């Protein structure tokens, strides 16, 4: 999914959010947010007073009641707009995913081997389909035969194709992607409406979005504060009556609305929704808000090696000449033998040659015929018009080939191949005619930038552990090259689960990234399981997040977003509660200072009149919600630091700031009301 299709906010999203904000005025919908429901009840009370000023037996002041009603209505609309805007962005992301779904035709393989063209929605789980070059893959499935380059840009936004083949961890394909070359046979793994893309669209649209434990706890706190202030405001009426002070109903409603945590109450839902949407912007689909939130508290991350830390495809890393053969001759012949080899290994030989300085003119195919790699021959090569024949392939295959050609195996070749194998690599032997020229060392290479990314994790206080089935020597080499904190060699699926359980037993939250079927149990056990989209369906089903780009380092962004989510919620809660201090000094003196002159001492802001003080506080209470929407949507910037330092920083910024900003804002609004002669 390209970032161009996931714009944070555009005119259409804002327009739709504006319409939804009014639709959410339905009391049944508002009741899900108790804080804002209280505001809506207050709005209806003041609306009645605006139409029938003396209905509650108090002196009529229609203009004042209308002003309070309008401000309360704006407060509700602003809060609804924040939630609708966050939901609208999720809907836009879902629509971009829907664009990849097409009513495609499928080549269904019948039991007698014949091909029948059917619509993709007619396919059922277990069906076998043939997909050839330039065909769209009709639905999700597992490759059971063939190797093909697949364009997944419709989902990931990445233009580079990926190689997928039957068996292993790169056999899963997604409906809507396109085969670029060769052909594959796919066993359908999902019935109509149950594909990976269908489920992801359903999740992004938020149909099953549930509140997280942290959000539920905060919601309980807000409800408790609302009940407390409701009791306080209720008891103020008889107390005021005792001292012969009449408190207008509209003023009591304004006081209640200003004292309850309306700011965080109006933004709480938007913060949670925006957290899930932010991971979607990084091409990660979160199956629940709980997983995003848990990512913010991760202590340990477990990573599978193959396809996660490393490319998964074996790539040329060294060329080892046989006795009596020069490095230049081996390099040249290895390149020529790979010119027509379109496998990842073959392409890596050519790429390796480029890196070590082989000129482009040496890659000329003129006057040559390619011998493509096949599973049967297990070798590939190039025949030239001058009779020169170059081959490369598996050790045992080349040995038989040389014997058939009447050649001999040079001394030291077996030792060189054994050394490559000991390091966890794969040796390929290069020949020219009946001569063996040397060995190509293929190894699963570490993805670029991994060391720097693991350093970022360390700064966050997160320990990284690599799990691999390789021998200890190979595992140590990869671990050092990647920069992980620890590794477990010769790991079986149950070993990965044991590591996760051990860390969890110590009170740590654990994240796991992986792509294979053997990773599925560990992904399910982890607090945060991030599966690669290139991986198997089993891995994607077990995880609670799926990375469409198949970049294991994406967990760093996920962790940052999780921390952002927690920090944003905490920061805005602190700001909202701190706001109440300033609003207290604005409204309480205004309510009593006419009847009790001594209360003027508390009017430290020097607000003009009781009515202007109340309206100023109420206006600020409404205006601050839309002003904080960008922060709720984007999240508080996360900078790696200790928890105590982070707490002090947020208290200083959002606690102290939450006290002083309302003082300034309320005073400015009061001056404007006086200048405009509103009061």
- The band of 4, judged by pLDDT with boundaries at 50, 70 and 90, is very low
Angle at 203 between CA 201 and CA 205, to 5 degrees: 70
Instruction: Write down the pLDDT at residue 330.
Output: 87
State the chain's mean pLDDT as an integer: 81
375 marked among binding-site residues: yes
Task: Give the confidence band of 196 by pLDDT, cuts at 50, 70, 90.
Answer: low
d(CA 387, CA 563): 65
Identical fold at 299-309+447-548 and 316-443?
no
Q: How many CA atoms lie within 13 A of 36 on its CB side?
A: 32
616 marked as part of a ligand binding site? no
Does 75 have pLDDT greater than 60?
Answer: yes
Would the annotation count 103 as a binding residue?
A: no
CA pair distance 241, 252, nearest whole angstrom: 13
Q: Strands across the sheet with 389-394, in order?
A: 310-321, 435-446, 426-432, 389-394, 379-384, 368-371
Residue-level pLDDT at 46: 93
Please write the tens of the pLDDT for every residue from 8-26: 456 778 888 899 999 999 9
Query: For 608-617, what is each residue's pLDDT tens digit?
Result: 888 888 899 9
| pLDDT on residue 159 | 47
Checking if the pLDDT of 195 tops 50, the result is yes
Q: What CATH homologous superfamily does 299-309+447-548 map to?
A: HAD superfamily/HAD-like (3.40.50.1000)
Contact by Cβ (8 Å): 189, 142: yes
Class of domain 316-443 as given by CATH: alpha beta
Residues annotated as catalytic are 304
Q: Are 669 and 583 in contact (CB under 8 A)?
A: no
Who has greater pLDDT, 2 or 118?
118
Q: Does 670 belong to an annotated binding site?
A: no
Kindly tell me the sign of the dihedral angle through the C-alpha atoms of 346, 352, 354, 357: negative
Closest CA to 304 of 513, 132, 479, 12: 513
Q: Is 89 annotated as a binding residue?
A: no
Q: Is 519 annotated as a binding residue?
A: yes
Rounded distance between C-alpha atoms, residue 556 and residue 562, angstroms:
10
User: So what's the pLDDT on residue 60?
Assistant: 60
Q: How far is CA 173 from the centre of its chain?
A: 20
Query: What confidence tens digit (pLDDT) does each residue in 375-408 have?
Result: 567 788 888 888 888 888 888 888 888 888 788 8
Q: Is 345 annotated as a binding residue?
A: yes
**Domain spans of the chain, in order of start:** 11-92+205-281+560-676, 299-309+447-548, 316-443
The reported pTM is 0.64
Nearest-5° Cα angle at 561, 555 to 564: 145
DSSP string for 412-475: THHHHHHHHHHTT-EEEEEEETTEEEEEEEEEEEEPTTHHHHHHHHHHTT-EEEEE-SS-HHHH
pLDDT score for 622: 93
Parallel, antiparallel or unpaired: strands 545-547 and 528-532 = parallel
- Residue 567 in contact with residue 636, Cβ under 8 Å? yes
Q: Which residue has the tokens 């389909």?
A: 129
385 is in an annotated binding site: no
The Cβ-side half-sphere exposure at 227, using a 13 Å CA radius, reads 6
How do beta strands 128-132 and 162-165 pair?
Answer: unpaired
Distance from chain centroid for Cα 4: 16
Nearest to 485 by CA among 514, 457, 448: 457
Rounded distance between C-alpha atoms, residue 588 and residue 571, angstroms: 26
**Is 373 one of the annotated binding-site residues?**
yes
* pLDDT exceeds cutoff 90 at 355: no
User: Is 378 labelled as part of a ligand binding site?
Assistant: yes
Q: Which of 264, 275, 256 lies closest to 217, judged by CA? A: 264
| Percent with pLDDT over 70 in the chain | 87
């Amino acid at each position: 999914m390209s970032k161009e299709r996931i714009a944070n906010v555009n005119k259409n999203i804002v327009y739709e959010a504006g319409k939804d904000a009014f639709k959410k005025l339905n009391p049944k919908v508002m009741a899900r947010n108790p804080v804002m429901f209280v505001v809506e009840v207050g709005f209806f009370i003041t609306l009645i007073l605006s139409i029938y000023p003396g209905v509650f037996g108090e002196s009529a002041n229609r203009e004042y009641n209308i002003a309070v009603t309008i401000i309360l209505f704006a407060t509700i609309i602003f809060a609804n707009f924040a939630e609708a805007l966050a939901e609208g962005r999720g809907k836009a992301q879902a629509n971009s995913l829907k664009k990849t779904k097409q009513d495609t035709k499928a080549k269904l393989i019948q039991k007698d081997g014949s091909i029948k063209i059917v619509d993709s929605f007619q396919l059922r789980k277990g069906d076998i389909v043939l997909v050839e070059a330039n065909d769209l893959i009709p639905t999700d499935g597992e490759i059971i035969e063939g190797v093909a380059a697949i364009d997944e840009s419709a989902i990931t936004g990445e233009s580079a194709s990926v190689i997928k083949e039957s068996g292993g961890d790169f056999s899963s394909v997604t409906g809507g992607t396109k085969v670029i070359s060769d052909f594959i046979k796919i066993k359908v793994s999902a019935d109509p409406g149950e594909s990976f893309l269908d489920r992801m669209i359903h999740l992004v649209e938020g149909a099953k979005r549930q509140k997280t434990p942290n959000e539920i706890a905060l919601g309980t706190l807000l409800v408790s504060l609302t009940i407390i202030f409701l009791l306080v405001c209720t008891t103020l009426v008889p107390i005021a009556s005792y001292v012969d002070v009449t408190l207008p109903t509209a003023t009591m409603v304004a006081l209640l609305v200003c004292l309850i945590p309306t700011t965080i109450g109006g933004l709480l839902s938007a913060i949670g929704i925006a957290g899930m949407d932010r991971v979607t912007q990084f091409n990660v689909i979160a199956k629940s808000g709980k997983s995003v939130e848990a990512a913010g508290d991760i202590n340990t991350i477990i990573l599978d090696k193959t396809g996660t830390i490393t490319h998964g495809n074996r790539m040329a890393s060294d060329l080892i000449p046989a006795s009596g053969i020069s490095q230049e001759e081996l390099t040249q012949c290895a390149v020529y033998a790979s010119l027509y080899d379109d496998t990842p290994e073959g392409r890596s030989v050519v790429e390796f040659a480029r890196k070590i300085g082989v000129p482009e003119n040496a890659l000329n195919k003129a006057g040559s015929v390619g011998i493509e790699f096949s599973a049967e021959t297990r070798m590939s090569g190039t025949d030239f018009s001058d009779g020169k024949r170059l081959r490369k392939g598996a050790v045992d295959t080349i040995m038989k080939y040389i014997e058939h050609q009447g050649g001999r195996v040079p001394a030291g070749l077996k030792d060189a191949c054994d050394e490559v194998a000991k390091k966890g690599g794969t040796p390929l032997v290069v020949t020219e005619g009946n001569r063996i020229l040397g060995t190509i060392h293929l190894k699963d290479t570490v993805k670029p930038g991994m060391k720097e990314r693991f350093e970022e994790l360390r700064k966050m206080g997160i320990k990284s552990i690599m799990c691999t089935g390789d021998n200890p020597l190979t595992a140590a080499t990869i671990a050092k090259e990647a920069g992980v904190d620890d590794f477990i060699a010769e790991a079986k699926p149950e070993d990965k689960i044991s590591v996760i359980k051990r860390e969890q037993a110590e009170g740590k939250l654990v994240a796991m990234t992986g792509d294979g079927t053997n990773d599925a149990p560990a992904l399910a056990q982890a607090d945060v399981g991030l599966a690669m989209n290139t991986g198997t369906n089993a891995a994607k089903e077990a995880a609670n997040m799926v990375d469409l780009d198949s970049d294991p380092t994406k967990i760093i962004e996920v962790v940052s977003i999780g921390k952002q989510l927690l920090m944003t919620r905490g920061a805005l809660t602190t700001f909202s509660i701190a706001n109440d201090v300033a609003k207290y000094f604005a409204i309480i003196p205004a309510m009593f200072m006419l009847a009790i002159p001594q209360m003027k001492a508390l009017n430290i802001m020097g607000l003009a009149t009781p009515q202007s003080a109340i309206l100023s506080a109420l206006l600020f209470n409404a205006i601050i919600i839309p002003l904080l929407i960008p922060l709720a949507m984007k999240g508080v910037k996360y900078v790696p630091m200790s928890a105590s330092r982070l707490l002090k920083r947020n208290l200083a910024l959002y606690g102290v700031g939450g006290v002083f900003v309302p003082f300034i804002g309320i005073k400015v609004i009061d001056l404007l009301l006086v200048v405009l002669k509103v009061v």
